[in-house]
Amino acid sequence: MDIYLGYELYSNVSGLLYIFYILNFTSHTALISVINPSTHTIMNYTSAIPSFLIITHANGTSFTFCLGSQAIPAFKIAGRSILIYSTSGVLLEKVNTNENMTLIYANFPGLTNEQIPNFRELAGEVDLFPINITTILGIVLGLQLFLVLRRVIR
């Protein structure tokens, strides 16, 4: 099952790009689609980050990562590319020599906590179609409206 996490606007040398993050739980990859906002087309939808890179037990130089107004305690790992993880182990940014990827999710529960957050929770995994008393009341209302519409609409 793929879950669409979010998107961001990102500028590089060639101009402004949208980046879409789509998580795939079966192949354990995060698909990143790059969208060109002026031609409004998907330019690249194959680049995938393996999920072990997205979420991991991180150690490194600690510093504070600023994301919008949020200050997140984070680690920086400098290798062939610079990786920045939150203390809870979520990849925040990956900087290569000529590219810069920032992971911004639809939701941030548990990002500043100490433990590794639940991956599905991070993606906003919720029961979209629950069957509970509200739903049943809604269905009853819908059925009543159906009977009304049958009479009213000719």
Whichever of 41 and 97 has its CB closer to other proteins, that residue is 41
Residues 6+ apart with CB under 8 A from 26: 1
Rounded to a whole number of angstroms, the minimum distance from the CB of residue 82 to other proteins is 24
Rounded to a whole number of angstroms, the minimum distance from the CB of residue 51 to other proteins is 16
Residue with tokens 């949208």: 18
Rule CB under 8 A: which residues touch other proteins?
1-4, 6-9, 15-16, 18, 20, 22, 33, 35, 37-43, 45, 106-107, 109, 121, 124, 126-131, 134-135, 138-139, 141-143, 145-146, 148-150, 153-154
Whichever of 4 and 60 has its CB closer to other proteins, that residue is 4
- C-alpha separations of 117 from 3, 79, 107, 109 in Å: 16, 25, 11, 8
Whichever of 7 and 81 has its CB closer to other proteins, that residue is 7
The string over 65-103, giving b where at least 16 C-beta atoms fall within 10 Å of a residue's C-beta and e elsewhere, is: bebeeeebebbbeeeeeebbbbbbbbbbbbeeeeeebeb
**Integer Cα distance of 61 and 77 in angstroms:** 7
Whichever of 78 and 139 has its CB closer to other proteins, that residue is 139
Rounded to a whole number of angstroms, the minimum distance from the CB of residue 147 to other proteins is 8
Rounded to a whole number of angstroms, the minimum distance from the CB of residue 85 to other proteins is 22
Helices (H), 70-132: 119-122
Rounded to a whole number of angstroms, the minimum distance from the CB of residue 114 to other proteins is 20
| Residue 124 DSSP one-character state | T
* Of 83, 85, 82, the residue nearest 73 (C-alpha): 85
Whichever of 66 and 106 has its CB closer to other proteins, that residue is 106
